[in-house]
Homo-oligomer: A and B are copies of this chain.
Amino acid sequence: MMSPNRIGQSTILLPSRPRIAASAAIAGKKEGEGPLSSDFDAIIEDDLFGEETWEKAESRFQFAAADACIRKAGLTGKQVDIALGGDLLNQIMASAMAARELHIPFLGLYGACSTMAESLCIASMLVDGGYARNALCTVSSHYCSAERQYRFPLEYGCQRPPTAQWTVTGAGSALVSSDDTLPTLCRCTHATIGRIVDMAVKDANNMGAAMAPAAADTLARHFADTGRGYADYDLIITGDLGQVGHDVLLTLMQERGLPLDAARYMDCGLAIFDKEQDVHAGGSGCGCSAVVLNGHIMRRFRERTLHRILFMATGALLSPTSSQQGGTIPGIAHAIVLEADA
């Protein structure tokens, strides 16, 4: 058997067009003060979410998003065949603790900030292939747990450089399903899996620049594989390139002869905060693209103001250890096509 469900070098076809039946986005206080506040299912004013530590709080965000998503689909946890999850913490601690409460067979992922797209790519293949009827994708990040793990403890009061991004506190969840009795927000039709691209950026405070080359690579491969271009999408959505990464992507796509169409381009890291919120280069973290996709974008699908988008979350696969050892930051970007029913 060849691979009937592939086109071009590296894009996957999903012939049954699995639906996203429900989604949920739980956001933190600062995110709830931004321009997308009305798109979230809940805004949690307490950064600790009633827990004793930031990590346990992040896990609570993740569980809350998963639980809300399952309920919005009209299901119970027992009807979900597989849960896929990930976060930025060492040993994906937030996801493991959330999955422990869900009691659903669990696949742990690590794709840094690309994890929302990675989970949707895998889940849509598992549902399309008939290996799962309902697959739940949930990812999270938390400003406080990420800062102390990747950079400095908050108590240190470190001054952030202008290229720094602000890790979003929040979690998003989406239910991919082949159950025709469930509602349809949109359908998953193609997935392009990212390769690691490393342009030798070393600065953990400049992740946008580290991730943009991976986004350019995946976008160019997606267009080449599918024969599509910007005009085929209402929006090309990157995860959290922020201002610096956005500018790098502009340049890289120009160089490839595929100049970005600004009217059809959106970066979740630039969309989630207002300039007045003092986040420097924009939002970041798994939770950034997760809450924008599962809150804002899914609302627009529900309201039928979007027909087809390419959701391409980008990840900076850095580790504090690799940074300490002088390593450069490997970037990755996974993309999935989401399309409304006609």
Q: Which residues of A are at the interface with B, using a C-beta cutoff of 8 A?
A: 1-6, 10, 12, 16, 52-53, 55-56, 81-82, 86, 88-93, 96-97, 99-100, 103-112, 118, 121-122, 125-126, 128-133, 149, 178, 180, 193-196, 198, 317-322, 325, 327, 330, 332
The 8 Å CB contact of A129, one of B86, B129, B320, is: B129
Would B55 and A91 count as touching, CB distance under 8 A? no
Would B105 and A55 count as touching, CB distance under 8 A? no
Would A3 and B109 count as touching, CB distance under 8 A? no
Would B131 and A96 count as touching, CB distance under 8 A? no
Residues of B within 8 A of A128 (CB): 129
Would B4 and A97 count as touching, CB distance under 8 A? no
Bound: A318/B52 CA distance, A: 18
Would A318 and B107 count as touching, CB distance under 8 A? no
Bound: A99/B193 CA distance, A: 13
Residues of B within 8 A of A195 (CB): 103-106
Would A131 and B90 count as touching, CB distance under 8 A? no
Would B110 and A91 count as touching, CB distance under 8 A? yes
Bound: A240/B330 CA distance, A: 31
Would B133 and A3 count as touching, CB distance under 8 A? yes
Would A93 and B322 count as touching, CB distance under 8 A? yes
Would B105 and A193 count as touching, CB distance under 8 A? yes
Residues of B within 8 A of A97 (CB): 322, 327, 330
Q: Which are the 6 A-B pairs with shortest beta-carbon distances?
A: A129-B129, A105-B193, A91-B319, A96-B317, A5-B130, A90-B90
For A16, A118, A330, which residue has the most chain B Cβ atoms within 10 angstroms?
Answer: A330
Known: A110-B91, A125-B126, A319-B93. A100 touches B131 (CB 8 A): no
Q: How far is the CB of A20 from chain B (nearest CB, A)?
A: 16
Would B53 and A100 count as touching, CB distance under 8 A? no
The 8 Å CB contact of A16, one of B1, B103, B317, is: B1
Residues of B within 8 A of A82 (CB): 193
Bound: A21/B182 CA distance, A: 40
Would A105 and B194 count as touching, CB distance under 8 A? yes
**Closest B residue, CB atoms, query A15:** B130
Q: How far is the CB of A330 from chain B (nearest CB, A)?
A: 5
Residues of B within 8 A of A180 (CB): 1
Would A100 and B198 count as touching, CB distance under 8 A? yes
Given contacts A10-B105, A12-B131, list 4 more A-B pairs with CB under 8 A: A107-B111, A107-B193, A108-B317, A125-B131
Query: Could you name 13 residue pairs across A and B whose Cβ atoms are closer than 8 Å?
Result: A1-B178, A3-B130, A6-B81, A10-B105, A12-B131, A56-B325, A90-B90, A90-B91, A93-B322, A100-B196, A107-B193, A108-B332, A129-B130
Bound: A319/B93 CA distance, A: 7
**Closest B residue, CB atoms, query A109:** B109
Would A132 and B3 count as touching, CB distance under 8 A? yes
Residues of B within 8 A of A107 (CB): 109, 111, 118, 121-122, 193
Would B2 and A133 count as touching, CB distance under 8 A? yes
Would A99 and B6 count as touching, CB distance under 8 A? no
Q: How far is the CB of A14 from chain B (nearest CB, A)?
A: 8
Would A321 and B90 count as touching, CB distance under 8 A? yes
